[in-house]
Structure 1
Amino acid sequence: MFTYCIRKRLCRVNSNVSPLPELLQLCKHYGKSSDGGSDPTSGIMQLFQRRFFIPLEDHHAVSLLKGKTCAYGPLGMNLKRNMLEQWWSSMVRSRPQVFGISTLHGVGDKGAGEVGDLFKQTDLTKEQLGERVLELLRRRQPFRTSLLQGALAQYIPSLELMSRKLPFGLAETGLCYRPEDDDSDAISCSAEVTEASLVWFCSPRTSLQWLDYWTRQRLQWWRKFALGPSDFSVCDVQDDELINSASRGAKVLYKFPWGTETLETLWILGDTELLKSHPGNRAELQCRDGKKVVVPHVLSLGANMDRGVLAVLLNSLQDIQKVDNKQRLHQRTVLKLHPTLAPVKVALDMGRGSTSELRQVCEGLLHQLLEVGISVWPGYMDTTQSSMDKLHTKYDEMGVLFTVMVGENTLENGLLLVRNRDTTVRETMHISGIREFILKYISKAENI
């Protein structure tokens, strides 16, 4: 409630300010040509807006460019959800020593009550109310800035799951509050980040080995979904960049068109933060490391999944040129997202034939695909006439894996025309086998 009230209040106070100049400046800084020139990233944010990844309002593009949480459109939300699910699967579902947790985002009822009392003061002007809310925000610091403290708080209860044996980890995903100290007046930009966090508890003698292990694992995870794996890299954190209580650190980096930025940071925090979270409970913190009893060291892994979404989008975007038989040059923009991350697996359209009968076939096939978790774009519901080239252009920019065309042959003998996004090859397939074909295709890509 506290978070909601402050968001609502700040939106009202700042609603009369346009983010357009900030967006233009950011686009110039981040490699986008504001005059529509030949810059390879020119128009990239408009493409993501046009193809339902983010809303049309400019401040969402500003937030995404800065690696902050923005509002996502249908495709952007599916992409982000798929990334979080893949992260969760790799961390929790496939590892017996990692457990998922959930912690609170705000401060609870007391903070909400204080905000409620402010809004009851009818003698305050809008400006005064906004200033009071901002002062309360600065004084109370109600939002978490990372997921680390929540995991440390749940450390003792989690010990029983491992019979007090090391190592083990606690994983969580959620929003964190990250205001920019040097950009406090930047209104229109979100101050929240979607973080994916693993807090790993291990013996002091193995903490360096675990840092190396998790650094390799995280780099491999990002590269698994990459069209250009070399754009992802790792480096050690320099001594002057170490946060409080950290003895060593590492970063997973992505090479954006405008420069290299951090996607994920890994820290060795020793036992300092754990002891701070449970003062006077040293005996309860101890675990068995072979025959020794020790207070574990903490490794903190935190990934900015919003910046990761942008990295995956940019890494997957290709402009493909092809010369036809008449020596004419054709350019195709395609978002070659990894099959497991693609927000839409199948675009379902219909060709010539009885409209009512073809629509019934499409609807039946749509439900069959949805039943097994295959996301479908119902293109057959669009009543505007479009050529096949325009449809393919649209679906390629959306990152759709397969375009399935239902036509007269489907009514006569059950045959569909299936186009592959990556190869552009069109093949005929019976309607009874399309579901298993797509499931097998995605499963094979996931296991590579």
Structure 2
Amino acid sequence: MPASSLDELVALCKRRGFIFQSSEIYGGLQGVYDYGPLGVELKNNLKQAWWRRNVYERDDMEGLDASVLTHRLVLHYSGHEATFADPMVDNRITKKRYRLDHLLKEQPEEVLKRLYRAMEVEEGNLHALVQAMMKAPERAGGAMTAAGVLDPASGEPGDWTPPRYFNMMFKTYVGPVEDEASLAYLRPETAQGIFVNFKNVLDATSRKLPFGIAQIGKAFRNEITPRNFIFRVREFEQMEIEYFVRPGEDEYWHRYWVEERLKWWQEMGLSRENLVPYEQPPEELAHYAKATVDILYRFPHGLEELEGIANRTDFDLGSHTKDQEALGITARVLRNEHSTQRLAYRDPETGKWFVPYVIEPSAGVDRGVLALLAEAFTREELPSGEERIVLKLKPQLAPIKVAVIPLVKNRPEITEYAKRLKARLLALGLGRVLYEDTGNIGKAYRRHDEVGTPFAVTVDYDTIGQSKDGTTRLKDTVTVRDRDTMEQIRLHVDELEGFLRERLKW
């Protein structure tokens, strides 16, 4: 059976070295996590699989790694300074602070009904309710208190403040003087670094439309209420593509990328029944979006977004380009008085300049890791009546690909052979190969089941030519154990390389 709760995954992650609370020895830093020895391997494997698929295997994609520190004007013209905010509300009794839409989602039905009536909003439209409350915050605060909105921390009705917006960007200063002129931000998304480098990439590569720019990197959002482990955090990593297309071809490419991303997540091991495409209705769309499809996943804590694929029209390049009036921009953008570059594409046939539309598949790395762990977590009852926990990760994504285990740790002939074999397998370039010398083969198997190691190779007396029957017929053979089936086979070490290559290649 899979993980029954998020707590099971959290416990496994700490026990086996996947993920730790950041700064735990000082009480922890809320919404910030550190990836441990196995977590960093799993995370890197996921990122490498994404990069391979979207950059190496395609002929229409370039890579980029833009800076985390972001010029203030980039986020001014993108609209982030004005609009990158979430609705926030406080309980005067408990002094707890919540993101309004998240708080309302957790309320009993009868409480929500009273709120809908008080704010004169049609029942069932939570998005419209939040919008109405933010337009009339004083009325909304009183309505929440009168409706008996519960505080999740206490389970009791709260005395609620008028809700207000909170900008989630982290500010910093560049240089020794802290003033308005030196103000910068830690990027709240990786996308803007791609847009402002559009002309640089285009000039350097001579790309023709359609083409994309891919990036993996850290982003920072000062979330009001980070929660659900690594699902909603303040420091996170994104895998984003900005795919530039001709206006008029945008709807085709939007549908294409939705299907492509669904297919890829399934190839990573997520089941189709746990992946739910959700097309955002018009009232939920971001101000720049023509259409957005969210790929939702059935996490242990509920159905939540794993990746979003947005048709952003010409808003982004149109926001950052100079000569806006001459380019026929269709999106509503701020008048740009600072840009020094024309972020547009010249049609090679007509010679006319135009601003490409953008399709953006944007996935969270951390959410991807959480989904993989949730999908792979399996609790099995063995024929002996014992129970084992096994992470049935796709072998290529497993943190440790192969564990090489000497049957005993006090026989130099066996341990040295195992070390040489480990080095030989490592040279194949398949990923991490671990030498495990605990001396207890049963416990080693269980430990590697729990961390998802697909193959355990045991070096024993037969391997070194000291079989119990006195023969050497099994010399240079090893036992290979499969994680999922627990079946064991005997292979010559010269056959082992091909065996593993076949099962661990992409």
Q: Normalized against structure 1, the TM-score is what?
A: 0.76
Q: Relative to structure 2, which stretch is displaced further, 276-285 or 402-411? A: 276-285
Give the letter aligned to residue 373 of structure 1: G
Q: Is the 8 A contact 1:105 1:143 kept in 2?
A: yes
Give the letter aligned to residue 206 of structure 1: E
Aligned with 1:396 (options 426, 433, 449): 449
Aligned residue number for residue 78 of structure 1? 41
Supply the distance in 2 between the matched residues of 1:420 and 1:268 (Cα, whole angstroms): 44
Q: What's the CA shift for 1:295?
A: 2.1
Q: What's the CA shift for 1:154?
A: 1.4
Aligned residue number for residue 500 of structure 2? 438
Aligned residue number for residue 19 of structure 2? 54
Aligned residue number for residue 69 of structure 2? 106
Q: Is the 8 A contact 1:352 1:408 kept in 2?
A: no
Q: Which runs of 5+ in 1 are unaligned?
A: 1-30, 33-38, 119-135
Supply the distance in 1 between the matched residues of 2:486 and 2:214 (Cα, whole angstroms): 40
Q: What's the CA shift for 1:157?
A: 2.3
Q: Is the 8 A contact 1:165 1:288 kept in 2?
A: no
Supply the distance in 2 between the matched residues of 1:312 and 1:392 (Cα, whole angstroms): 21
Supply the distance in 2 between the matched residues of 1:93 and 1:417 (Cα, whole angstroms): 36
Aligned residue number for residue 171 of structure 1? 214
Aligned residue number for residue 321 of structure 2? 278
With over 3 angstroms needed to count, the CA separation of the structure-2 counterparts of 1:46 and 1:182, relative to structure 1, is closer
Supply the distance in 2 between the matched residues of 1:338 and 1:199 (Cα, whole angstroms): 28
Q: Is the 8 A contact 1:69 1:306 kept in 2?
A: no
Supply the distance in 1 between the matched residues of 2:24 and 2:383 (Cα, whole angstroms): 39
The DSSP-based 3-state class of the residue aligned with 2:265 is helix
Aligned with 1:312 (options 372, 379, 394): 372
Give the letter aligned to residue 82 of structure 1: N
Supply the distance in 1 between the matched residues of 2:409 and 2:388 (Cα, whole angstroms): 29
Matched residues, number: 373
Supply the distance in 1 between the matched residues of 2:371 and 2:28 (Cα, whole angstroms): 14
Q: What's the CA shift for 1:141?
A: 5.0
Aligned residue number for residue 134 of structure 2? none
Asked whether 1:334 is paired with 2:390, we answer yes
Aligned residue number for residue 360 of structure 2? 300
With over 3 angstroms needed to count, the CA separation of the structure-2 counterparts of 1:78 and 1:253, relative to structure 1, is same
Q: How does 1:333-372 map onto structure 2 within 5 Å?
A: 333-352=389-408, 355-372=411-428
Q: What's the CA shift for 1:241?
A: 2.0
Aligned with 1:152 (options 195, 209, 231): 195
Give the letter aligned to residue 169 of structure 1: G
Give the letter aligned to residue 256 of structure 1: F
Q: What's the CA shift for 1:272?
A: 2.0
Asked whether 1:379 is paired with 2:436, we answer yes
Aligned residue number for residue 20 of structure 1? none
Deviation string, structure 1 residues 296-354 (Cα, Å, up to 9, x no partner):
11122211110110110110111122334xxxx23221100001101101111111486
Give the letter aligned to residue 416 of structure 2: Q
Aligned residue number for residue 59 of structure 2? 96
Q: Is the 8 A contact 2:294 2:308 kept in 1?
A: yes
With over 3 angstroms needed to count, the CA separation of the structure-2 counterparts of 1:356 and 1:323, relative to structure 1, is closer
Supply the distance in 1 between the matched residues of 2:392 and 2:383 (Cα, whole angstroms): 21
Give the letter aligned to residue 9 of structure 2: I
Deviation string, structure 1 residues 204-231 (Cα, Å, up to 9, x no partner):
1110111100011011111112253321
With over 3 angstroms needed to count, the CA separation of the structure-2 counterparts of 1:235 and 1:107, relative to structure 1, is closer
Q: Relative to structure 2, which stretch is displaced further, 262-271 or 224-233? A: 224-233
With over 3 angstroms needed to count, the CA separation of the structure-2 counterparts of 1:85 and 1:43, relative to structure 1, is same
Supply the distance in 2 between the matched residues of 1:183 and 1:335 (Cα, whole angstroms): 26
Q: What's the CA shift for 1:238?
A: 2.2
The DSSP-based 3-state class of the residue aligned with 2:58 is coil
With over 3 angstroms needed to count, the CA separation of the structure-2 counterparts of 1:63 and 1:291, relative to structure 1, is farther
Aligned residue number for residue 290 of structure 2? 247
* Greater fraction helix: 1
Q: What's the CA shift for 1:111?
A: 2.9
Q: What's the CA shift for 1:182?
A: 5.0
Supply the distance in 1 between the matched residues of 2:388 and 2:265 (Cα, whole angstroms): 26
Q: Which runs of 5+ in 2 are unaligned?
A: 72-171, 328-341, 466-474
The DSSP-based 3-state class of the residue aligned with 1:205 is coil
Supply the distance in 1 between the matched residues of 2:213 and 2:22 (Cα, whole angstroms): 37
RMSD: 3.1
The DSSP-based 3-state class of the residue aligned with 1:245 is coil
Deviation string, structure 1 residues 183-211 (Cα, Å, up to 9, x no partner):
69x9xx95111001100110111101111
Q: What's the CA shift for 1:368?
A: 0.9
Q: Is the 8 A contact 2:239 2:363 kept in 1?
A: yes
Identity over aligned pairs, percent: 28
Supply the distance in 1 between the matched residues of 2:347 and 2:205 (Cα, whole angstroms): 10
Q: Is the 8 A contact 2:22 2:34 kept in 1?
A: no
Q: What's the CA shift for 1:391?
A: 1.8
Q: What's the CA shift for 1:164?
A: 5.9
Aligned residue number for residue 139 of structure 2? none
